[in-house]
Amino acid sequence: MTFAYLGLIKPLLRTLPVLGYILPTPVQRQAIPALLAGRDLLMAAQTGSGKTAGFALPVLQRLTLEGSPAAANSVRALVLVPTRELAEQVHGTIRACGMELPLRTAVAYGGVSINPQMMLLRSGIDVLVATPGRLLDLYRQNAVRFDQLQILVLDEADRMLDLGFSRELEELFALLPAQRQTLLCSATFSEEIRQIATGLLRDPLTIEISAPNSAAPSVAQWMIPVDKKRKAELFLHLLERERWEQVLVFSRTRKGVERLAEELQQRGYRAGAIHSDLPQPARLRALEQFKADELQVLVATDVAARGLDIQGLPLVVNLDLPVVPEYYVHRIGRTGRAGASGEAISLVCADEVEQLAAIEALIRQLLPRREEPDFSPEHRVPETALGGVILSKPKQPRQKPVPKFGDRLDDKARPAVEAVRQMPNLSTLPDRKK
């Protein structure tokens, strides 16, 4: 099946080969005709499966064929995303797909000046990609209107609905026209999120290309047990021994990211860092350097777990396991994209066994364990079983209880306790004068 068979117009068909799109992916084969027909969609597919182009192409085509230009400060199609990095990624794809179309696109997110974004909106925008917080800021300053809105897309909908964006989204939904086409797409959906999503969609078509919350089969996954205090040391050992050409490393905390990035730089590696406290220009610069192969190692928090599309990225390393199991799927989805092969290695300490079990329950498989002889942990990582079961926990050394007065005593303890009982009450003795 070709893109032409899906009913796309000639300008899009001319652009697709230039962008490297030869044949539609499974998610694109199902999503494009449905969206062109005006259906609401609930779409779940693995990362790297072509979801963005799957909704960008029909959205661009519908807006082009309708032909009504956006009025001043108005938006015809709105794509909401949870992070700045994903906003740039999605907008880049939309802009590239529509390079031959007479449409205006823009991106808006926080962390940068709002004034240039307000200036862009003055002449009207056909497709706006935005984060919820910045979009509300623009609305409150009368910089954006929604009376012309026809299409709403929530990309990474599970994260926005479930992790702190609920209030902003509720406020935005109240501002949007009730008559609109709505699409929710992500790599993962919990049952709770599915229930919430049904309230936003009208007779939706559900597309699930793979098993929910699964990783691409082209990604080889395994874990290395190690003590927490030796994780960075083990990573540096592997980096030197294996001579990895490019690797994306995930740490749970900002401090963990900064410490490892500084250590790598001190050892002469081309390393960069991304976390939420960095200024947006610095984050974008690190991403672009990594994509251009100017950085060998990029250390990041989960801010880079979604929307980071790097062609041919061979390896992802989890220095720390994520607290939210679904984030593991998004992290390792940065490699093995579009059918390419990849590797995902997790450095796991005993304290993370509950996160490990939750991840294995989510992906429905056990992570194979590979020991590093020089890094065998003092604190054993308990064995796990399918279904999130922890088979054994590290045994704590048993301490012999201290006898208390009134306890039944054995023959060895009795004389010592009787001697203590016969001692005088020190509080009743007279003070010794100096």
Residue with tokens 């796990």: 384
Give the pLDDT confidence score for residue 20 in this predicted structure: 84
SS3 222: strand
pLDDT > 70 in the chain, percent = 82
Which is higher by pLDDT, 368 or 333? 368
pLDDT for residue 432 is more than 90: no
pLDDT for residue 222 is more than 80: yes
pLDDT tens-digit map of 386-428: 888 888 755 554 455 544 444 444 454 455 545 545 555 544 4
Task: Show the DSSP H helices in 353-426 as ranges.
Answer: 353-363, 414-421
Amino acid at 359: I
pLDDT for residue 254 is more than 80: yes
Give the pLDDT confidence score for residue 369 in this predicted structure: 95
Rounded to 5°, the CA angle 34-37-39 comes to 60
pLDDT for residue 320 is more than 50: yes
Which is higher by pLDDT, 199 or 254? 254
Give the pLDDT confidence score for residue 362 in this predicted structure: 87
Which is higher by pLDDT, 267 or 336? 267
The Cα–Cα gap between 362 and 387 comes to 8
Which is higher by pLDDT, 409 or 326? 326
pLDDT for residue 213 is more than 90: no
pLDDT > 90 in the chain, percent = 52
DSSP secondary structure letters along 385-396 = ETTTEE---PPP
Confidence class for position 100, pLDDT limits 50, 70, 90 = very high
Give the pLDDT confidence score for residue 21 in this predicted structure: 87
Give the pLDDT confidence score for residue 211 in this predicted structure: 55
Domains of the chain are 4-208 (3.40.50.300), 219-390 (3.40.50.300)
The Cα–Cα gap between 358 and 286 comes to 31
Which is higher by pLDDT, 277 or 136? 136
- Residue 100 CB partners (closer than 8 Å, separation 6+): 11, 12, 14, 15
Residue count of the chain: 434
Give the pLDDT confidence score for residue 406 in this predicted structure: 46
DSSP secondary structure letters along 57-126 = HHHHHHHHHH--PPPTTBEEEEEE-SSHHHHHHHHHHHHHHTTTSS--EEEE-SSS-SHHHHHHHTT-EE
Alpha-carbon distances, residue 40 vs 161, 205, 385 (angstroms): 18, 6, 39
For residue 69, how many other CB atoms are within 10 A of its CB?
15
Which is higher by pLDDT, 409 or 366? 366
pLDDT for residue 337 is more than 50: yes
pLDDT tens-digit map of 54-77: 999 999 999 999 888 889 999 999
29-33, 200-204, 254-258: least confidently modelled range: 200-204
Rounded to 5°, the CA angle 344-42-69 comes to 110
The Cα–Cα gap between 152 and 132 comes to 13
Its sign, for the CA torsion 104, 107, 112, 115, is positive
Rounded to 5°, the CA angle 135-137-140 comes to 110
